[in-house]
Chains A and B, each alone.
Chain A
């Protein structure tokens, strides 16, 4: 619409300016094409799809996360990215408490893996599905945090993740076949889409029975055992 104004009359202060319309329209056309294709591609590739290979324990109803103690209440969803330093801090502070809740059956715990920090998050995330295939999701997750490097430092490549899987007692051949074929890439897309719908805007985010535990400036709720336990107590978990 407004582009028509461009041609209306001589431009103020400028020389009488007759633009070369062909070059101009070619450039406008190419730029618009890039923008439209890029935008559509981004939307489509971030949409969840229904026929997706899910690792054992993953449930669509729980945001595609891996579920422990499906029949218990309340439900704790933990949204995390294995590359995120705050997630490591959360794991180091409250990880053992959460594993204890799982073992003692005091809550339903769901781990929702996000992978928004870059390609290494995707590799690590796909690996978590492959580890779940062999029933070692928790061991794998813990190992990643114990060996977390700087974000996107180039450490978490597929060969590296496969070689570490062997040290966890995972069947290396099966794990490699799973990771190298990107078996769980679409599962991660579904997890991310579910995270968007659940309004998860950062990691780690803990949701108990649908209520997001707010992070506070002092980091009490997430990064002190007392603060986190106080949140759990609100939902009857002691």
Chain B
């Protein structure tokens, strides 16, 4: 009887540890992809802006504007997630960004455009046989799940957020 609470605590802490590792995985997946996607696009801002214009969703000048700033935003958000700073806020922003991307890609697909998502550089019009809308959407759904998971359970291994305990 005496042992019971200790066992419960031990079991709970095991579960907590596993979830913390899962949190780390989610952080690195979403943060790593965001950071890489941004970093690849930064050296070629014209391409990034052109990829954004190719969606034909925003007025030309606004699309160019977002095309110029999005890579920097992705790099910043990715850094915060990789370091585990303000995990809850940055993960939900990351997840919402993914939903935005999913919406944009789905709309391009539905309107019969044939473009590359331009997620990792590239972008713009491509051969209709080369579009990868479904793969792009599935990837972004997986990343959005990572983000929402962290929103509901932000604690994770090796996060700067854990410091000072």
Contact = CB atoms under 8 A, between A and B. Distances in A.
B73 interface: yes
Contacts of B155: 11, 13-15, 17
Interface in A45-93: 46
Contacts, number: 129
Interface of chain B, helix or strand or loop or mixed? helix
Contacts of A200: 50
A9 interface: no
Contacts of B120: none
12 contacts: A2-B89, A6-B154, A14-B155, A21-B164, A42-B45, A46-B45, A117-B47, A196-B60, A200-B50, A201-B51, A217-B114, A217-B129
Contacts of B88: 2-3, 5-6
Contacts of B125: 201-202, 215
Contact of A116 (B16, B19, B46, B153): B46
A13 B12 CA distance: 9
Nearest to A41: B72
A215 B86 CA distance: 46
Interface of B: 16, 19-20, 42-47, 49-51, 53-54, 60-61, 64-65, 68-69, 71-73, 75-76, 79-80, 83, 85-86, 88-89, 92, 114, 123-125, 127-129, 152-155, 160-165
A14 B16 contact: yes
Given A14-B16, A192-B46, A199-B53, A20 B164 contact: yes
B124 A43 contact: no
